[in-house]
Structure 1
Amino acid sequence: MTNIAGAFPVLPTIFDSTGAIDAQGMRNTVEWVIGCGVDGVVFPGLASEYDHLSLAERLRLIAMIGELAAGRVAFVAGCSGQNDEESAALIAAAGQAGAAAAMIVTPTRLDGDLDAIGDFYAGLAAAADVPVMLQNAPRPMGLGLDAAALLHILGRAPNILYVKEENAPCGQRISALRAAAPPQLRAIFGGAGGRYITDELARGAEGTMPAAEIADLHVRLIAAHRAGDQATVRMLFERTLPLLNMQAVYRWRLTKEVLRRRGLIASAFVRAPGPELDAHDHAELDQLLAALEPLMREMGTSFDARQMV
């Protein structure tokens, strides 16, 4: 069984202007991120509006993305469900799709009972023989557990082979988990939109799972890290951080607007609630993308200037 590491963007769910799933837009986005040289893809995650998808939509898209990724890059399937039965159905679908891991957020319905949480993760092995990635998301999406709690859960669930840590301070939590990690733990990934990526990598994270709109630049940053080129890592982090900070506010809308401007999707429609970009925000985004355009051009992944607002 191959370990996973590196740049794993979380794919958004692409909708058309009516709010229906845009299958071609999904394919375009998957093909583009794979073409950027990513190590793998993740779907669905928090950045995919997964809690605004029906179970049937999630199952259908997991199958689609597994087929597109097969033999090309690793696929981490998001299998967080509203109950144990839904999670089991999703991890079974992940197994059928050839997923390298099933990512499942710490279940808020079991808050305060670490033994029950561990048993929940361990019980998923009965649904499919897919390694589990525990997503330690902050509240209210997850439980925001400390390292001691995570280690307790790992002790009860030997099928948890990966952890995605995205509670601030992410770096300190990664250090604490790394220092006491049991042998079963193959890799720790950072998340939080890539806003702390340099600290996470320096503390021993094996990879990152940000949103997908600048997958090309995250690929280049990971390549520089692997080569020991910390000057390039720092340069890319500092150049991309203004856009990532804007993404922290507008989330899915920002990600999809950038993908639209890059000519990959027709609509930036989102189902999830949240602030919308106004005219000033669009103008600010123009400037942020213009500043990144030379880096994108160096990688042959520049955005489509005709899509600028």
Structure 2
Amino acid sequence: MPTVFPQGMVDTAKKNFGGGNTAWEEKTLSKYEFSEVRLLEIMESLCGSSDFECNRLLEEQEEHLEAWWLRLKKEHPDLFEWFCVKTLKVCCYPGTYGPDCLACQGGSERPCSGNGHCKGDGSRQGDGSCQCHIGYQGALCYDCMDGYFSSLRNETHSICTACDESCKMCTGPTNKDCNQCEVGWVREDGTCVDVDECAAEMPPCSDQQYCENVNGSFLCEECDSTCVGCTGKGPGQCKECIPGYTKENGQCTDVDECSLSEKACVRKNENCYNTPGSYVCVCPEGFEETEDACVQTQTAGDEVTEESPAELPSREDL
């Protein structure tokens, strides 16, 4: 609240000054500047309508704010200091913490060496210890974690920079500066290089997967649904094809059983429909199914000859 109040003062600073009669406006403005009307307008803008906690605190401390506005503002121009730190005693100055507003670890000017957050900073809570940013460690966040190296270090500042991804620990930014290689890398000629797990004598993936090498590791990806074993992604990388598919131009494609010279559907008047990897045999409309034929059920005059079979049903009717 005491951090929002100054913005309200800025927003209302020249509300009644619109140009025209300068002498009248300056007189009016000077009255408005220290008026209870302006205070009320500022206070109405401090909290959102749904911020219950803010509105509760404003109601409880309204008298304190009025006293500061009307009598104490000149003597104590810093509202945050007077209201939050010294009067309510719920805040501390930045860089301090706890009931007595003690300095954070590393000092109130640059807590945690500027590389972390002080627990309780600016409040009457916390223990002043440091929560270090990523890459830093130690009580004052001055040291580098594994995977980072010190790119700047003097009496007042410490900057830690990430090692190359191949390094577990390092002294510089490249894969030649590793003290120790990360898991999935191996040292060759003084440099940490990626291990190709996919080239191992015993492949790490299952029979229906292919191995894809990535930096420091590998991925097992599923073969195409038309494959029986594969060497890579897609129907063009199959070792063999599943039943109902055959290798054509290097990839597994569906066999159209209905177009083969040897009829797939052998019952009289029966229609053949190709499906992915298979086919179905269906009697035409107006025919009923028996063990060895499709028998016409239509009345005379609506006969469908063997040479002119009934119109094939759509796929949706199958």
Instruction: Compute the TM-score of the two structures, normalised by the length of structure 1.
Output: 0.22
Q: Whose Rg is larger? A: 2
Instruction: Compute the TM-score of the two structures, normalised by the length of structure 2.
Output: 0.21
The structure carrying a bigger strand percent of its residues is: 2
The structure carrying a bigger helix percent of its residues is: 1
Task: Say which structure, 1 or 2, has more relative contact order (CA 8 Å, 6+ apart).
Answer: 1
